[in-house]
Structure 1
Amino acid sequence: MRIILNTINGIILSRPKYITHVIEQRKNIQTMEFECKIHMSQNDKLFILCDAKGTNTQGDEIIAEVISYFEFKDQKVFKIHGQVHLLKGNPSDVDMSQE
C-alpha cells in the first residue's frame, strides 16, 4: 500500500480529502493570478514560492503568499505540502478548520 502525504497549512489530509478541499476552496474564488517568485528543484523535489492575487465570490480582494513543496516518486506526485500566508482577505478563504 502506497501512503501519500498531503498537507495544507499543517493539516494532514488523505489524497481524496486533499482534492476535495482544493475543489471546495476553488468554489470560493472568483479570480486568481499567481506570480512565481522562486522555484527550486533537486532530483525528485520541487519548491515554489509565489504571490497570489485575486477576488473571492463576494468580490473581496485576496492577497497571499503561497509556498508549495512537492516530492515525486516513479514520475508521480508522492508528497504535497502547501502553506498559505494570507496578507489581505477573509481568513475563511483559506480556512482549514472545517476539515
Structure 2
Amino acid sequence: MKENNKYIVFYSAEKDGFLKSYKDKGNLVFRATFDERLWEALQLPFEPYEKQKTELDKLAEVMGCEVLIVEAEYNVTKLDGSGFERTEREESMKDGIKALLDFLAK
C-alpha cells in the first residue's frame, strides 16, 4: 500500500530547526522550541492550512519562520514483504448503538 501525504511545517533558518512546540505565555509572549529533526516538527495537513493560510502565515512570521510543504510517501508492507491493503470492517452492534446515541444526543 502506498500513501502520499502533504504537510505544512514551520522552519527557522536562524534556529536551523523546525518548530517542535510553542506555548502562549500570556501578554503577547510565547516560547517556541525548535528541533533539527523533521519528524519532531509540528505538522498540519495541507488542506486545513489552506483554510487558515492568512492566520498561519502571520504566526510563522511572528516566530521568524518560513512555511514549508513536506510531501511524504509511505510504502506499507507486511513483515514478510507482501503487500498490505486496508480492509473494510463490518459494522458491529456496538457501532450501531453508538450511532443511535449520537443521533439522539443532537
TM-score (norm 1): 0.25
Which structure features the higher share of helix residues?
2
Which structure features the higher share of strand residues?
1
Larger C-alpha radius of gyration, 1 or 2? Answer: 2
TM-score (norm 2): 0.24
Q: Per chain length, whose mean CA-contact separation is higher, i.e. which structure has more relative contact order (CA < 8 Å, sep 6+)?
A: 2
